[in-house]
Structure 1
């Protein structure tokens, strides 16, 4: 089984160096790497070239069109039986491809995804962001489930694989951002292919490294959910409204503190209980009080940024059809 690993890249040379080093350490080496420089002004040509004697690696430069179309560019040039997509801010455990290969031999999947986690080397903030994006106390907790409250399992493009026959029948991404991976997964499902979660195909995902950048990313994710709904209206589920409901509840609580202390007491108590649960769960998972404390803020951002982005485009695109 031969894999083609496809990595879109935009102005992140240092990230690609760390990612490529983890690929050098893979226990299963039947793979090629295609790095697609998507119109970067800060390129990684020399860094990629330094791995020529360590990996079967190819470097391509194209005009900037976004990550979805950069992946398509890689698909068109890949030789593998399976195409594996990584984001440049991921670190790949040494047994990743071995685990995927063994799983695919035992259970035929046309496309797959895997979970993400925080690496021990990550900063406390990166670990807190990872917690909020994977916790059962936030909507991030449904992302790594084989079947979740949102319906079918949809692999995410930071850790996603598909067979060559999927590419040949379904084609590639038709939107380059704003939920392009979920839209693609839905079309793969509708074409009759089998998609599954490989639980031990885990990657370490760095994500954003500041509260501000994390807010912008999650606000974008909320808008992306509505963009997907424009293609597939039936995929909008109750769970997708949870961040918006939480955000409205938080705003209601703030207003209640001004106009009704009785209601404010109840609202504030519920919010405190919720964040206490997050604190102790994050502490138990990371064994760090600092990470647990930061997880309160990253979880708040995870829900409210997504909620505001979701409501913004729901009003604009669904209600007013703009």
Structure 2
């Protein structure tokens, strides 16, 4: 099996350097790499050139269109039997491609997704963000989890599709705002089989600060409504949880200001939630510092997603604006 690894890139030369270094250490080397520079101001051409003698690598520069259409650009030029998509802020374990190859030979999948984890080199903030995006106490717990809700939708930081899927379904029709989920829904509807490869994890850096993380999760909340506009049945009860948390938190703040006695129970509930997050994060990460930071990251994960969800729900569903 020959893989085509497709990596869209926008103004992140240092990240692609670290990612390509991990690909050089793969135990299975039957693959090519396509780096699609999406109109970056700070391009990575010189960095990619360093890997010419280490990888079968191809560099392309195109006008900025967003990550979805940049992946399509890579699909059109890929030679592989299977296309693998990574985000540029991922580090790839040395046995990743071997795990995927062995799994695909044993279990016929037309498309797959894999989980993410925190690398030992990540900062405490990055580890806390990683926890928030994979914790059972936040909506991140459904990502890369065998016990997912409804159909499994691979996420584009760690996703693969067969050449047959590309030829019959095409590529992304959205370039942002939930483009990976929309794509996987169309793959499902076309009769192809999608599954999770539990051992095919990547180390996903995500954002390096809580402010960046807030902006990203606010965008994710808006993306869920964008997916709903294309596929109404894909809006599940669990997707409303961050919005409910956000409304509940704001009401609790107001009650604490206007009538503290009524806020007592709400305060207790919040304390219990944050305590559960702290002790679970401590048991997972083995770090008190990361556990404390995980409370902040989990709060941001829920609140930012909830705010983005509410914003576009009101705008696009209630008010029927485009």
Q: TM-score, normalised by structure 1?
A: 0.99
Moved more, 112-121 or 250-259: 250-259
Partner of 1:129: 129
Once the two structures are TM-superposed, the CA of residue 52 in structure 1 deviates from its matched residue by 0.3
What is the correspondence of 1:1-322 to structure 2 with a 5 Å cutoff? 1-149=1-149, 151-322=150-321
Question: Conserved in 2, the CA contact under 8 Å of 1:208 and 1:214?
Answer: yes
Q: Deviations over 1:252-276 (max 9, x none)?
A: 1111112333321111011011101
Q: Please tell me whether the aligned partners of residues 223 and 310 of structure 1 are also in contact (alpha carbons under 8 angstroms).
A: yes
> 1:21 & 1:12 partners in 2: Cα distance?
15
**SS of residue in 2 equivalent to 1:65:** coil
CA RMSD of aligned residues (A): 0.7
User: TM-score, normalization: structure 2?
Assistant: 0.99
**Post-superposition shift, 1:147?**
4.8
Inter-partner Cα distance in structure 2 for 1:226 and 1:147: 23
Distance 1:319 1:234 in 2: 17
SS at 1:273's partner residue? helix
* 2-structure distance, mates of 1:41, 1:259: 50
Residue aligned with 2:218, SS: helix
CA contact (8 A) 1:146 1:196 kept: no
What is the distance in 2 between the residues matched to 1:273 and 1:67?
Answer: 39
> What SS class does the counterpart of residue 207 from structure 1 fall into?
coil
CA distance in 1, matches of 2:148, 2:157: 19
Q: Secondary structure at the match of 1:136?
A: coil
The answer on whether the counterparts of 1:275 and 1:296 sit within 8 Å (CA) in structure 2 is yes
Helix, strand or coil: the match of 1:134? Answer: coil
Q: CA deviation at 1:35?
A: 0.3
Could you give the per-residue CA deviations for residues 260-315 of structure 1, whole angstroms, max 9, x where no partner exists?
A: 33321111011011101111111111111110111110100000000000000000
Taking the aligned partners of 2:101 and 2:85, their CA distance within structure 1 comes to 15
User: In the comparison of the two structures, how many residue pairs are matched?
Assistant: 321
Deviation at 1:242, TM superposition (A): 0.2
